[in-house]
Amino acid sequence: MLVCHCLAVNDREVKAAVGQGAATVEDVINLTDAGALCGGCHPSICMLLGEHSQGDCGGDACLAGSRVLCGDRSSV
């Protein structure tokens, strides 16, 4: 699945970054470039971070503006 549409980064690349220890959106941006431009994929990145830490997006990983969208996705 394409996560970052601006820079064409898929979920496998983001998951690999999480596997390498990325714990925040900022970390994922630094490791993969995903989320570096418009920010529209930050909720998706949060979700992938959340999946990794068993549903807990973890404070600063979750941008305030994205929280509702994150919650919507993880609750279903």
Q: Please give the residue ranges that form the binding site for another protein (CB under 8 A).
A: 1-2, 5, 10, 40-41, 43-44, 47, 69, 72-73, 76
Taking the complex as a whole, how short is the minimal distance between the CB of residue 68 and another protein, in angstroms?
A: 8
Taking the complex as a whole, how short is the minimal distance between the CB of residue 75 and another protein, in angstroms?
A: 9
| CB of 32 or CB of 44, closer to another protein | 44
Classify residue 51 as exposed, middle or buried by CB count within 10 Å of its CB (0-12, 13-18, 19+).
Answer: middle
35 vs 28: CA distance, rounded Å: 8
Taking the complex as a whole, how short is the minimal distance between the CB of residue 56 and another protein, in angstroms?
A: 19
- Cβ atoms of residues 24 and 49 within 8 Å: yes
